Structure 1
Amino acid sequence: MSQPRSMPAQSQDRMPADEYKMEPAPDWHPRHPGVGKLKGKRAIVTGGDSGIGRAVAVLFAREGADVGIVYLAEDRDAEETVEAIRAEGAKAYALRADLGRHDDAFRAVAELTEKLGGLDILVNNAAMQWNAEDIRDISEEQLRRTMDSNVMGPFFCTQAALGHLPDGGAIVFTASVNAFKGNSHLVDYSATRGAITAFSRSMAQQLAPRGIRVNCVAPGPVWTPFIPGSMPPEMVEGFGDHVMMGRPGQPWEIATSYLFLASDDGSYFTGQTLHPNGGTIVGS
């Protein structure tokens, strides 16, 4: 799919935003034929309705996995993702839930695991962000919502999944380049991504005796609904132009890191972070 090098100005008035409203549409389509890297596996991808989550869900399906996605309220995006997963010949299920609430997270994991017939891979990807130039502009409500979505949700989903994941399973978290370099406009979001990085490393240590590998992906600027949903039009215009490669990443370019970590290709990786970020050099 052809993409402009520099993104045009646009915005949406809600978070999470809708992928179907974005122009140009994010490119989530897998690039290569599947070779069965996840044949017979069952995966849950949170935030799987759009953006990176959609790209991961469809790529996993192409490699043989049946996939359940969890989303907050973006019904049209979720329906399109389910159709794309099924077009790859895999089973697909979608479930609405607010994962920042303990009972919703446990219900979502239990219901999708039952529909899938088991669980082998958990991708903790759902998150939110809002732009704020001054920390004093971040309300308590916004801070708690960001923490609920980006920290509590992955925590609860991991707790819920551990009763279903077999020894040798895999968990992959989404963090961000901002966990490593910070971001003056995304202070609360960056703090949650730092928390997720530490959480993933801690869980890798705790679950190593069971052979469950736990890793993280820390993307740089990526063209997803996050961007028009959290930034004013003037910040969206030219989004990602500042990185070494001179453009934002597309979701399909990030999804390959998740496939690597979830499959046997990443069998000697645990407690690690991959950095598909367009050339930003950060500590690992």
Structure 2
Amino acid sequence: MKKEATKKEAKKKEIKAKKAPKGQVQKDQPGDEYKMDPRPESTPDDPAAGRLEGKVAIISGGDSGIGRAVALAFVAEGASVVLAYLDEKKDAEETKKLVGKAGGDCLLISADVTEVKSCEKIIAKTIDRFKKIDILVNNAAVQYPQNSLADITDEQLDKTFKTNILSYFYLTRAALPYLKKGASIINTTSVTAYRGSGHLIDYASTKGAIVGFTRSLATNLAKKGIRVNGVAPGPIWTPLIPSSFTKKQVAEFGKDVPLGRPGQPNEVAPSYVFLASDDASYMTGQIIHPNGGEIING
């Protein structure tokens, strides 16, 4: 018991000591994790329990950030993972190496999820390699801050909606014929879906749409025994942050939530493990809120 208490105290100190982001920017979305300082924390904190043994999971935006942390958490629980990414090859290859070190099986697929055929390719390659799909995590996203609605161009609007919500429709639709009873779909939404964001109007709108998509699809698929849930992270230290904001904004990122700091990807990943596992067998149409203590009543 004393040894266990010591471990808990060490864990508390580790959480308190998490490094704050330094001021930095990246010019391209969705950003590169290998350029970030400090690097996001992706590896699982807790020992695995084999809750996803033998499962096959597809994760869009799986090369870095939350997607990488979810992949590593799934692998720790016994799953094989398919990671779809756009063009962040270095991050994707690093994630694959981390999965390999953890003893997991990983398939990387470079694909533009804003295109229907690319989403169909992801599913086809998954079936060709693993013969089944048990878990689908829709996670890809972009965000482009603007001070005014008038500043949001048609091109930006089109890209944001195609990436953040239409891709969820495309990938899920392509996966549905292969999802059987007990399968789990998990959609990444955001705290901005509930409280809004004055400088991320289009982004927050897509995240609100994801909540509606999650709840509606959950109702639609309930009789088939396929569960659909979502996770709404708050300020999490991912490549989207330095590729979206100014150095000053990045340096202050996450300090306004009750816990006073941004979260790490591996602090969000356990929510996905829970929703993917049989521990959440009586949950569908629900959203989990790892957001640093912000009360959004959603």
CA RMSD in angstroms comes to 1.1
Correspondences of 1:106-255 after superposition (within 5 Å): 106-255=120-269
Contact 2:109 2:122 in 1 (8 A): yes
User: What TM-score comes out, normalization by structure 1 length?
Assistant: 0.98
Aligned partner of residue 241 in structure 2, secondary structure:
helix
Alignment of 1:48 onto 2:62: yes
Structure 1: runs of 5+ lacking an equivalent: none
Amino acid at match of 2:149: I
Contact 2:40 2:265 in 1 (8 A): yes
Contact 1:243 1:278 in 2 (8 A): yes
Report the number of matched residues: 284
Structure having the higher Rg: 2
TM-aligned CA deviation for residue 89 of structure 1: 1.4
Partner of 2:3: none
Structure 2: runs of 5+ lacking an equivalent: 1-13
Amino acid at match of 1:111: K
Q: List per-residue Cα deviations over 1:154-185 (Å, max 9, x = no partner).
A: 11000011011111100000000000000111
Q: Distance in 2 between matches of 1:5 and 1:44?
A: 30
Aligned partner of residue 227 in structure 1, secondary structure:
coil
Correspondences of 1:78-117 after superposition (within 5 Å): 78-117=92-131
TM-aligned CA deviation for residue 116 of structure 1: 2.0
Q: Distance in 2 between matches of 1:184 and 1:12?
A: 22
Aligned partner of residue 123 in structure 1, secondary structure:
strand
Partner of 1:21: 35
Q: List per-residue Cα deviations over 1:22-62 (Å, max 9, x = no partner).
A: 00000011011211100010000110000000000010001
Amino acid at match of 1:209: K
Amino acid at match of 1:142: Q
Contact 1:68 1:116 in 2 (8 A): no
TM-aligned CA deviation for residue 7 of structure 1: 2.1
- Identical positions, percent: 48
Partner of 1:279: 293
User: What TM-score comes out, normalization by structure 2 length?
Assistant: 0.93
